[in-house]
Structure 1
Amino acid sequence: MMLFLKLFLAHLLGDFLLQPESWVKDKEENKIKSSKLYFHIAIHFALLVLFLQFDFSKYWFAIVLIIVSHYSFDLLKIYLQNKKSKRIWFFIDQFLHVLILSLASVFYTDFFFSFNDFFTDKILLLLIATLLVTYVSAIIIKIIITQWNPESKKENDDSLAKAGRYIGILERLFVFIFVITNHWEAIGFLLAAKSVFRFGDLTSSKDRKLTEYILIGTLLSFGLAILIGVLYLYTLNLL
């Protein structure tokens, strides 16, 4: 584990702290001819050697594997991404980097992974509760309140695409975490904060139906998150 943490820290420093935004833009514009790409790889190499205490004779395989794969993944991302897929390729690229770091760590340590050890009753219960409080709840709320939707799509709508859905998912996740960690007072703070942000929409609208619609959606969202959190704790105590 210590080896992986060292490699991961080197990756975080090299990919985020020590990579200016100007370097990222230069790589995207000049691709394989970008000098900043090779500066970036050189920094990663230096960090790896530093964190591995200059023991190149022992860790040469890990260093070569990480550097070659990092260069390859960065080039792959640069050439395949476009404006729409840039966000997706960022996460794919980071996932592949961490995967290589894990493989390099396993090569030097005795490690055995079993899915049976990972998918315990408690972890499965948490995964189920997380799905329920995010996507399943979103569908349930949509089915319940769609019949009352008083809003019509406006041409000059400044709202972000699907922003309401993601805000709902995040707020239910927060409420769920507050419930299972026994921080009920934080739920009131979150509800008050949402009310403040929604105040402008409600006052400018002068639409009673819209006000009732927002209140129903908010109460359903918070109510479902609290219910799922309580049921999760109850079921957890039975295991």
Structure 2
Amino acid sequence: MQQLGWHIFAHFYLYLLAIIVYFCWFDSKISFWALLLMILGLTIVHFIIDLAKAPIEKLFRDTKMVHLFTYISDQILHITTIYIAVWLVFNEQITLIPAQLNNYPKFCALASLAIIIVYLIGYLIPYVLEVLMPGFNLEKKSISFTKQSGKIILTKNQEIPIVSNKELKAGRYIGGLERLLLLIFMVLQIYSAIPIIIALKTLARFKELENNRTFAEYYLIGNFLSMIFGVLISLVFIYILKL
């Protein structure tokens, strides 16, 4: 609950920063209190959605597919509530695929896509991998440990992580930077530089790919998913940039 509180706190201040920037530099005619009420409502709804996520997962047996579904649904609900809140406050017709955008909406859309490609996709891919490769990060090994009596007892077929949480976290950061570089290269139309990203990442993991088949499969599927999501979001980014 404390972690959820900090999460909601961070989102509220990001919302607050966004409306302050909008009010001070783009449109001071709109009521600041209306904007403040909007982000308070968004924060409360955000809290309710996140609070309901864990009970819903338990209700549907807490499977890998349920985790993936609730994660995607959670993000869609957050985006939808923001969309509705903006429509109610600004009382303007908003289209999903606009023909043109003013400076501030364009900036917000591009910033959102940059956050999605760097941050959100990094959390989505492990959920997808859990569905595509159940138990991909677990390997059955026989390990030994010594009791106080001095006897050595073998524990057979104990599942231990192939990739530690620390390595997964580092991989998430590397993947985010990789997709950010991919976005930059696609925007600048430097397509010939894209293979360099894959080559550098593969070189860094060469020994693990050579010695561990399970890790190699996990790595390749995760890398392909990262590139696919990165390319698709980059195309949307370029489209909005040209509006």
More helix, by proportion: 1
- TM-score normalised to structure 2 length: 0.45
TM-score by length of 1: 0.46
Higher-Rg structure is 1
